Amino acid sequence: MITDLNQSFTLGSLESKIKKVNKRVNVSLAQLQIQKFEKASSEGDRIFFQAMEEVLDSIAPLIESDERYRRHAIVERLTVPDRVFKFKVTWLDDANNIQVNTGYRVQFNNSLGPYKGGIRFHPSVNEGILKFLGFEQILKNSLTGLPMGGAKGGSDFDPKGKSDFEVMKFCAAFMTELHKHIGPRVDVPAGDIGVGAREIGYLFGEYKKITSTYDGVLTGKPFMFGGSLMRPEATGYGVVYFTQAMLEQENKEALKGKVCTVSGAGNVAIHTIEKLQELGALVVTCSDSRGTIYDSRGVDLALLKELKLQKRVNLEEYLITYPEARYIPVEEYPEGGHAVWSIPCYAAFPCATQNELWEADAKTLVANGCVSVTEGANMPSTPEAIKILLDNKICFAPAKAANAGGVVVSSFEMSQNAVMTKWSFEKVDAKLKETMRQICKRVALTAKDYGVEGNYVDGANIAGFKKVADAMIAEGI
């Protein structure tokens, strides 16, 4: 379920936020952004503006304190992608019918390194959604301290219900166009919603065939042909490592023995649950696009993996093995809310998709004594929900910091490919853990430096922005 952003996000709210920023920093940003907003027609565009608004809000003090950013028009330049490729993807389904989808690659900014960001296959994909994800990716990649720019791509193709052959044929057709725009030093895509090891394998196979090269042009590859150990686990594990570091930093109790709630049932959710369980937390929920499972004795991870990674069926089938668990279909979710967040917990982990934790959910989490919320998915919390959580001093870890583990290990995969070597699981895990701790520290310190101690949203936006902005200035226009 995605919230209707028209209700919560209006031109008026964007206009007043931008005016506030503009008044403080004295730049002619307002008119520029409002014009763009007026042209924005789809929900995807609105989500892009939602992401941009949050960043603009956070970075106002930085822009105010350093006139170089205004002189070099950094905000105006950073909020427009370097280029957007949009292309037709035609493929043959199993019944020999010709199918047509749209493919995209948004190359947003490469000031810090080659463009880097996932590919999403989902019917909701459009240019606006990918611009939001690409924009977030710039600051996320910057926060890692690793040499990567920001990008995102995908298609409105839905892999659900398709045979392996159909997925293969679609991936080959998609790569027929995409290969012209990517390369190990140019742009290195990875997975995202609907794109896992199977899809990356097919995409890589086609790239290899077309170009006759064996390049590390995609990350998230299966281990046997160039993938890094721990890439599948990286985002979820990183989410938990970040939470551990944040709880420690904020003098809160550790996760061991604590009830945790997780939304989603895909790559990020599954590996978040796995690491939480390893640490002795009790994870009682998971969800997919059809409904939520609440299992008070703890989610059976092996069964979840079997249902979602092997059989690719709906979560309701969890009840066949555990009829005493509760299944809540989306139609029965609380008004304006998500079933997962109605379950009392110590720590909450939204790991499914954007705008899945709303204002009402945030209020419920606060009322139920929740101590921390960590975003595993990209921008899963609405601005109104984030405000409630921050106002109530909940430890809140924003996606661009907390879910950076995936791209961190992708960067490790690029390093291993470049020198044709393989690192051990332990080495990757230790480096990931340390990197997530460093990101957490950087975000917390930045927030403190800018007078917003404990606000990890502002800390992440300012720290991420500053590095990219300084590189853009040094590289000229």
Q: Is 464 in the site for ligand NDP (CB under 6 A)?
A: no
Residue 60 or 81: the one with the smaller Cβ distance to ligand NDP is 81
Residue 45 or 375: the one with the smaller Cβ distance to ligand NDP is 375
Q: Is 2 in the site for ligand NDP (CB under 6 A)?
A: yes
Instruction: Give the number of residues in contact with ligand NDP, rule: CB under 6 A.
Output: 25
Q: Is 291 in the site for ligand NDP (CB under 6 A)?
A: no
How far is 370 from 388, CA to CA, in rounded Å? 12
> Cβ(425)–Cβ(437) under 8 Å?
no
From the list 18-26, 201-209, 267-275, 419-427, the region that binds ligand NDP by CB under 6 A is 267-275
Q: Is 416 in the site for ligand NDP (CB under 6 A)?
A: no
Of 1, 80, 371, 452, which lies in the binding site for ligand NDP, with binding defined by CB under 6 A? Answer: 1
- Give the per-residue contact string, 305-344, with ligand NDP (x = CB under 6 A; - = no): ---x------------------------------------
Q: Is 397 in the site for ligand NDP (CB under 6 A)?
A: no
- Determine the angle formed by the axes of helices 359-367 and 383-391, rounding to 10 degrees: 20
Q: Is 264 in the site for ligand NDP (CB under 6 A)?
A: yes
Residue 257 or 336: the one with the smaller Cβ distance to ligand NDP is 336
Residue 107 or 272: the one with the smaller Cβ distance to ligand NDP is 272
- Give the per-residue contact string, 178-217, with ligand NDP (x = CB under 6 A; - = no): -------------xxxx-----------------------
Map the footprint of ligand NDP across residues 225-254, applying CB under 6 A.
235
Of 150, 266, 337, 459, which lies in the binding site for ligand NDP, with binding defined by CB under 6 A? Answer: 266
Residue 375 or 470: the one with the smaller Cβ distance to ligand NDP is 375
How far is 290 from 416, CA to CA, in rounded Å? 39
Of 99, 277, 289, 392, which lies in the binding site for ligand NDP, with binding defined by CB under 6 A? Answer: 289
Q: Is 156 in the site for ligand NDP (CB under 6 A)?
A: no
Do the bridges between strand 347-350 and strand 259-263 make them parallel or antiparallel, or are there none, so unpaired? parallel
Q: Is 381 in the site for ligand NDP (CB under 6 A)?
A: no
Of 17, 152, 400, 433, the catalytic one is 152
Our answer to whether residue 152 is catalytic in this structure is yes
Residue 204 tokens, joined: 């890589």
Q: What is Dmax (Cα atoms) for the chain?
A: 63
Of 403, 416, 446, 461, which lies in the binding site for ligand NDP, with binding defined by CB under 6 A? Answer: 403
Of 377, 397, 462, 472, which lies in the binding site for ligand NDP, with binding defined by CB under 6 A? Answer: 377
Residue 274 or 470: the one with the smaller Cβ distance to ligand NDP is 274
Minimum Å distance from CB 53 to ligand NDP? 19
Residue 142 or 235: the one with the smaller Cβ distance to ligand NDP is 235
Minimum Å distance from CB 294 to ligand NDP? 15
Q: Is 436 in the site for ligand NDP (CB under 6 A)?
A: no
Minimum Å distance from CB 24 to ligand NDP? 31
Do the bridges between strand 291-294 and strand 285-287 make them parallel or antiparallel, or are there none, so unpaired? antiparallel
Map the footprint of ligand NDP across residues 345-364, applying CB under 6 A.
351-353
Interface positions with ligand NDP (CB under 6 A): 1-2, 191-194, 235, 264-269, 288-290, 308, 351-353, 376-378, 403, 406
By annotation, the residues acting in catalysis are 152
